[in-house]
Amino acid sequence: MDLTPERYQKMVKRAGPSSPLGTHCLWAFGVGGAICTLGEGLRQLYLSLGWDQDASGALTSITLIGLSGLFTSLGLYQRLAARAGAGTLVPITGFANAVISPAIEFKVEGMITGVGAKMFVIAGPVIVYGLTASWVWGLIYWATTQMGWGG
Protein backbone atom coordinates (compact mmCIF):
# COMPACT_ATOMS: atom_id res chain seq x y z
CA MET A 1 0.00 0.00 0.00
CA ASP A 2 1.71 3.09 -1.28
CA LEU A 3 -0.13 6.14 -0.02
CA THR A 4 1.48 9.39 1.05
CA PRO A 5 -0.09 11.65 3.71
CA GLU A 6 -0.38 14.46 1.14
CA ARG A 7 -2.29 12.30 -1.35
CA TYR A 8 -4.46 10.90 1.43
CA GLN A 9 -5.37 14.38 2.70
CA LYS A 10 -6.74 15.15 -0.78
CA MET A 11 -8.75 11.92 -0.78
CA VAL A 12 -10.16 12.75 2.67
CA LYS A 13 -11.19 16.21 1.52
CA ARG A 14 -13.12 14.70 -1.38
CA ALA A 15 -14.69 11.92 0.71
CA GLY A 16 -16.07 14.05 3.56
CA PRO A 17 -19.55 15.53 3.21
CA SER A 18 -19.52 19.30 3.50
CA SER A 19 -21.66 21.19 6.00
CA PRO A 20 -24.90 22.61 4.58
CA LEU A 21 -23.69 26.19 4.92
CA GLY A 22 -26.82 27.93 3.66
CA THR A 23 -29.17 25.99 5.97
CA HIS A 24 -26.84 26.49 8.93
CA CYS A 25 -26.62 30.24 8.29
CA LEU A 26 -30.40 30.55 8.06
CA TRP A 27 -30.89 28.63 11.30
CA ALA A 28 -28.20 30.69 13.06
CA PHE A 29 -29.69 33.94 11.78
CA GLY A 30 -33.26 32.97 12.73
CA VAL A 31 -32.57 31.56 16.19
CA GLY A 32 -29.85 34.09 17.10
CA GLY A 33 -32.15 36.89 15.96
CA ALA A 34 -35.06 35.46 17.96
CA ILE A 35 -32.95 35.33 21.14
CA CYS A 36 -31.87 38.95 20.63
CA THR A 37 -35.46 40.00 19.91
CA LEU A 38 -36.51 38.31 23.13
CA GLY A 39 -33.75 40.26 24.90
CA GLU A 40 -34.99 43.55 23.45
CA GLY A 41 -38.57 42.66 24.41
CA LEU A 42 -37.43 42.00 27.98
CA ARG A 43 -35.52 45.28 28.09
CA GLN A 44 -38.59 47.20 26.94
CA LEU A 45 -40.66 45.40 29.56
CA TYR A 46 -38.26 46.36 32.36
CA LEU A 47 -38.13 49.97 31.10
CA SER A 48 -41.92 50.14 31.09
CA LEU A 49 -41.92 48.87 34.66
CA GLY A 50 -39.94 51.94 35.66
CA TRP A 51 -36.34 50.63 35.77
CA ASP A 52 -33.66 52.91 34.32
CA GLN A 53 -31.55 52.04 31.21
CA ASP A 54 -28.67 50.41 33.15
CA ALA A 55 -30.87 48.37 35.47
CA SER A 56 -33.07 47.23 32.56
CA GLY A 57 -29.97 46.04 30.65
CA ALA A 58 -28.67 44.12 33.67
CA LEU A 59 -32.10 42.60 34.37
CA THR A 60 -32.36 41.52 30.72
CA SER A 61 -28.97 39.75 30.92
CA ILE A 62 -29.91 38.08 34.20
CA THR A 63 -33.23 36.88 32.78
CA LEU A 64 -31.61 35.48 29.62
CA ILE A 65 -28.95 33.69 31.71
CA GLY A 66 -31.68 32.27 33.94
CA LEU A 67 -33.68 31.07 30.94
CA SER A 68 -30.55 29.50 29.40
CA GLY A 69 -29.87 27.70 32.68
CA LEU A 70 -33.44 26.42 32.80
CA PHE A 71 -33.44 25.19 29.20
CA THR A 72 -29.94 23.69 29.55
CA SER A 73 -30.96 21.68 32.60
CA LEU A 74 -34.14 20.54 30.87
CA GLY A 75 -31.95 19.24 28.04
CA LEU A 76 -33.59 21.55 25.50
CA TYR A 77 -30.90 24.16 24.83
CA GLN A 78 -28.46 21.73 23.23
CA ARG A 79 -31.23 20.30 21.06
CA LEU A 80 -31.86 23.75 19.65
CA ALA A 81 -28.10 24.43 19.43
CA ALA A 82 -27.56 21.28 17.35
CA ARG A 83 -29.42 23.09 14.58
CA ALA A 84 -28.83 26.76 15.40
CA GLY A 85 -25.02 26.60 15.87
CA ALA A 86 -23.63 30.11 16.24
CA GLY A 87 -27.19 31.43 16.69
CA THR A 88 -27.29 29.90 20.17
CA LEU A 89 -23.53 30.10 20.83
CA VAL A 90 -22.94 33.83 20.40
CA PRO A 91 -25.71 35.41 22.54
CA ILE A 92 -25.26 35.56 26.31
CA THR A 93 -27.44 32.44 26.56
CA GLY A 94 -24.66 30.47 24.82
CA PHE A 95 -22.10 31.66 27.35
CA ALA A 96 -24.44 30.65 30.17
CA ASN A 97 -24.88 27.21 28.58
CA ALA A 98 -21.08 26.82 28.36
CA VAL A 99 -20.81 27.42 32.14
CA ILE A 100 -23.88 25.49 33.25
CA SER A 101 -23.35 22.36 31.13
CA PRO A 102 -20.00 21.35 32.72
CA ALA A 103 -21.43 22.19 36.15
CA ILE A 104 -24.22 19.66 35.55
CA GLU A 105 -21.92 17.12 33.91
CA PHE A 106 -19.24 17.09 36.60
CA LYS A 107 -21.54 17.34 39.63
CA VAL A 108 -21.00 13.63 40.17
CA GLU A 109 -17.31 14.37 40.88
CA GLY A 110 -18.12 16.59 43.86
CA MET A 111 -18.93 20.26 44.49
CA ILE A 112 -15.27 21.36 44.64
CA THR A 113 -13.28 19.04 42.37
CA GLY A 114 -16.25 18.56 40.02
CA VAL A 115 -18.56 21.58 39.77
CA GLY A 116 -16.05 24.14 41.08
CA ALA A 117 -13.03 23.00 39.12
CA LYS A 118 -14.75 22.11 35.85
CA MET A 119 -17.40 24.84 35.61
CA PHE A 120 -15.19 27.12 33.49
CA VAL A 121 -13.57 24.42 31.41
CA ILE A 122 -15.26 25.74 28.24
CA ALA A 123 -15.99 29.38 29.18
CA GLY A 124 -12.63 29.89 30.94
CA PRO A 125 -10.68 30.79 27.79
CA VAL A 126 -13.37 33.32 26.82
CA ILE A 127 -12.99 35.03 30.19
CA VAL A 128 -9.17 34.92 30.09
CA TYR A 129 -8.85 36.36 26.61
CA GLY A 130 -11.81 38.70 27.06
CA LEU A 131 -10.13 40.23 30.12
CA THR A 132 -6.74 40.29 28.37
CA ALA A 133 -8.24 42.08 25.38
CA SER A 134 -9.97 44.64 27.63
CA TRP A 135 -6.68 45.19 29.48
CA VAL A 136 -4.77 45.77 26.22
CA TRP A 137 -7.51 48.06 24.94
CA GLY A 138 -7.45 49.91 28.28
CA LEU A 139 -3.72 50.54 27.86
CA ILE A 140 -4.22 51.81 24.31
CA TYR A 141 -7.06 54.04 25.49
CA TRP A 142 -4.95 55.40 28.36
CA ALA A 143 -1.96 56.05 26.05
CA THR A 144 -4.08 57.89 23.49
CA THR A 145 -5.73 60.07 26.16
CA GLN A 146 -2.28 60.93 27.58
CA MET A 147 -1.26 62.12 24.15
CA GLY A 148 -4.42 64.13 23.83
CA TRP A 149 -5.89 61.97 21.04
CA GLY A 150 -8.71 60.33 22.92
CA GLY A 151 -11.84 61.62 24.54
Partner 1 sequence: MSRKETLVLGQGAVIRAWASVGGKKEGEGPLCREFDLVNGENSLGQDSWEQSECQLQQQCAELCLRKGEITPKEVDLTLGGDLQAQCTATAYAMRSLGTPYAGLYGACSTMAQGLALGACLSSSCLLPRVLVMTSSHFCTAEREFRTPLEYGGQRTPTAQWTATAAGACLLSPKGEGPRITALTFGRVVDLQITDINNMGAAMAPAAAQTILRHLKGRGTRPGDYDAIVTGDLGQVGSRLLHEILEGEGLPLPNHRDCGLMLYDLQTQQVDAGGSGAGCSASVLCAHFLPRLAAGEYRRILFLSTGALMSQTTFLQGESIPGLAHAIELEGCI
Site residues, partner 1 (CB under 8 A): 1, 3-5, 8-9, 11-12, 15-19, 24, 72-73, 75, 77-78, 80-85, 88-89, 94, 97-98, 100-102, 104-106, 108, 122
Give CA separation, 98 vs 64, 69, 92, 106, 123, in Å: 14, 10, 10, 13, 6
Question: 42 or 99: whose CB is closer to partner 1?
Answer: 99
* In the complex, minimum distance from the CB of residue 119 to partner 1, in angstroms, rounded to a whole number: 10
22 vs 75, beta carbon nearer partner 1:
75
Helices (H), the chain: 5-15, 21-48, 53-73, 77-84, 86-89, 92-105, 117-118, 124-146
How near is the Cβ of 107 to partner 1 at its closest, in Å? 10
Output 54-63 pairs: Cβ under 8 A, ≥24 positions apart.
61/92
> Least distance in Å: CB of 130 to partner 1?
19
Nearer to partner 1, 56 or 91 (CB): 91
Residue 100 burial class via C-beta count within 10 angstroms: exposed 0-12, middle 13-18, buried 19 and up: buried
Q: Which is nearer to partner 1, 4 or 48 (CB)?
A: 4
